[in-house]
A and B are shown apart, each in its own frame.
Chain A
């Protein structure tokens, strides 16, 4: 039986604040791993050809250095980068992933080392089969190395400031003259519903006309059930404008 997979890791601080870390799935991690593998191979080949210069002095020395460089690069690459780049390798950077402590604390050097040493068991019998199965079974998508090290791989999300003015504009909003309805909406519209509606408004230009109309029709139908709207606040305006009015009063107050 597999435990239910978590999409976010929620951490409650002693102050009672809850923050969440979005978790990366096994497939994104596998892609990052493939990028890293390709890079390790390329760097090792490059190092091997550079070190072949030592063949002028001694062929034995050149071969020894090539063997050593491949070993150091393949074992040390992830350890050095994850430690130096706070949980990221090149593959993880490209896929916007980061290794973080499972308790939200600072990532420690020994955690980085252990999760990378245990790749030797995770990649058995081939292509990270053991680690992949472990990540699929684990509720936090942890391979064996992550379980031992107490780490998870998180997705990095955009953390820019919202541009509400651009999204909502400064048009006349008939709901603003109805404080009771505004208060009721702020009470009843859930954060998730409001977020989805705002995203829809922000991306409306990217949606084809027909699905766009259908989408805002559904939003409008949902919001109309949350309060008793006087006819003049809902008549003669499109579903899209109505949704924008609702989102506007939920997110913004004006003095």
Chain B
């Protein structure tokens, strides 16, 4: 077959233009949903452009025409064959209260790994401080944690949290942004086959365990709970969720026992990883606000019982969200 290219282009150009117009609409308007007639027409135009591409591919045709048609067919192919659910409209509240808990439960195994590593780190840190108090400068290389806990408690209770005066907002945003960046790093470390995440979670647990043991052994358990619980009950689970997302990625990367290729494994887990990342970011924003505006106030400004109660209430709320959130939505999804 011999193609008269100018005539061929002239006769097919109106169809290509029509297809391009529809594609522009689909690509720029995320809410656009074609009706049956439009969908049929779109499919016809795609098939026609594909046939045109086939026709000219076998012959020596000027490269610009071929590239143009390839680009057109590629764009239409993407629109027609996409079967994944598109996030045409992102509902942030629904995502947090329904999708996030559902995904959390679906990936509970990875969360358990994350929790287990942190608990191992806590046990190690606590044991190290209890057995060898001289290891404190090594385990806790932070100047404000080097002194005796009882001295710090006495100082905090004397100053009524005044040292935070005039810089609470800045402190809060610094905490949020820093914690979110550390959590994203922990998540991204999943691409090191989970090894980087393993180290980060264990080390985080070591610090937590060492601080806790230091305060408890010095008789400051109540202060510790009042200080850590209001923000820690959200912040620590958020970091565990980051670890959970990382291990979901690592599992897909390793693919032990999986019969599908790497790209397909990632394709399955990536939406869940994004949902977990979004959930942990919201949790860390809340934790940052609590840490700057609440956790830094101690008795006599805020009774420890109140702080502990609020911390426990937050934890209860979080547990309720993660265990019960999205149950109705899941049934609707299954039905549809």
Measured CB to CB, the residues of A under 8 A from B are: 11, 13-21, 58-61, 63-65, 67-68, 71, 86, 101-111, 113-114, 117-122, 144, 147-150, 157-162, 164-165, 183, 186, 189-191, 193-195, 198-199, 250-255
The reply to whether A19 and B77 form a contact with Cβ atoms under 8 Å apart is: yes
The reply to whether A121 and B191 form a contact with Cβ atoms under 8 Å apart is: yes
- Minimum CB–CB distance for A58 against chain B, Å: 7
Residues of A within 8 A of B90 (CB): 109
Residues of B within 8 A of A65 (CB): 173
A251: contacting residue among B53, B61, B82, B166, CB under 8 A: B61
Evaluate whether A159 and B62 lie within 8 angstroms (CB atoms) in the complex, with A18-B57, A19-B77, A67-B173 already known.
no
The CA of A14 and the CA of B176, in the complex, are separated in Å by 48
The reply to whether B184 and A117 form a contact with Cβ atoms under 8 Å apart is: yes
Extra pairs beyond A110-B274, A111-B270, A186-B60 (5, CB < 8 Å): A14-B81, A60-B167, A60-B168, A67-B177, A148-B266
Residues of A within 8 A of B86 (CB): 106, 108-109
The CA of A105 and the CA of B82, in the complex, are separated in Å by 6
Evaluate whether A67 and B170 lie within 8 angstroms (CB atoms) in the complex, with A109-B90, A111-B270 already known.
yes
B270: contacting residue among A15, A63, A150, A164, CB under 8 A: A150
The reply to whether B6 and A148 form a contact with Cβ atoms under 8 Å apart is: no
B74: contacting residue among A11, A114, A254, CB under 8 A: A11
The reply to whether A110 and B2 form a contact with Cβ atoms under 8 Å apart is: no
The CA of A16 and the CA of B82, in the complex, are separated in Å by 17
The reply to whether A149 and B266 form a contact with Cβ atoms under 8 Å apart is: yes
**Is B169 positioned at the interface, with any CB of A under 8 Å from its CB?**
yes
The CA of A191 and the CA of B67, in the complex, are separated in Å by 13
**Is B308 positioned at the interface, with any CB of A under 8 Å from its CB?**
no
Residues of A within 8 A of B204 (CB): none
Contact bitstring B85-108, A, C-beta under 8 A = 1, else 0: 011001000000000000000000
The CA of A117 and the CA of B280, in the complex, are separated in Å by 13
- Minimum CB–CB distance for A197 against chain B, Å: 9
B173: contacting residue among A64, A121, A160, CB under 8 A: A64
5 contacts between A and B (CB under 8 A): A64-B170, A71-B176, A109-B87, A149-B270, A186-B60
Evaluate whether A17 and B270 lie within 8 angstroms (CB atoms) in the complex, with A108-B84, A121-B189, A121-B196 already known.
no
The reply to whether B62 and A164 form a contact with Cβ atoms under 8 Å apart is: yes
- Minimum CB–CB distance for A105 against chain B, Å: 5
Residues of B within 8 A of A120 (CB): 181, 184-185, 187-188
Evaluate whether A162 and B266 lie within 8 angstroms (CB atoms) in the complex, with A17-B73, A101-B78, A104-B78 already known.
no
Residues of B within 8 A of A186 (CB): 2, 59-60
Measured CB to CB, the residues of B under 8 A from A are: 2-6, 9, 27, 47, 50, 53-54, 57, 59-68, 70-71, 73-74, 77-79, 81-82, 84, 86-87, 90, 166-170, 172-174, 176-177, 180-181, 184-185, 187-189, 191-192, 196, 249, 252-253, 262-263, 266-267, 270-271, 273-275, 277
- Minimum CB–CB distance for B242 against chain A, Å: 10
- Minimum CB–CB distance for B302 against chain A, Å: 20
Residues of B within 8 A of A86 (CB): 27
Q: A158: nearest residue on chain B (CB-CB)?
A: B64
The CA of A18 and the CA of B187, in the complex, are separated in Å by 37
Evaluate whether A191 and B169 lie within 8 angstroms (CB atoms) in the complex, with A14-B81, A148-B249 already known.
no
Residues of A within 8 A of B187 (CB): 117, 120
The CA of A54 and the CA of B86, in the complex, are separated in Å by 39
Evaluate whether A106 and B79 lie within 8 angstroms (CB atoms) in the complex, with A19-B53, A111-B270 already known.
yes
Evaluate whether A13 and B4 lie within 8 angstroms (CB atoms) in the complex, with A148-B191, A191-B59 already known.
no
The reply to whether B87 and A108 form a contact with Cβ atoms under 8 Å apart is: yes
Q: A156: nearest residue on chain B (CB-CB)?
A: B71
The CA of A64 and the CA of B164, in the complex, are separated in Å by 14
The reply to whether A191 and B61 form a contact with Cβ atoms under 8 Å apart is: yes
A191: contacting residue among B60, B87, B263, B273, CB under 8 A: B60
The reply to whether A105 and B78 form a contact with Cβ atoms under 8 Å apart is: yes
Q: A188: nearest residue on chain B (CB-CB)?
A: B60
The reply to whether B68 and A110 form a contact with Cβ atoms under 8 Å apart is: no
- Minimum CB–CB distance for B161 against chain A, Å: 15
Q: B9: nearest residue on chain A (CB-CB)?
A: A161
The reply to whether B270 and A114 form a contact with Cβ atoms under 8 Å apart is: yes
Residues of A within 8 A of B71 (CB): 19, 157, 159
B60: contacting residue among A20, A60, A159, A190, CB under 8 A: A190
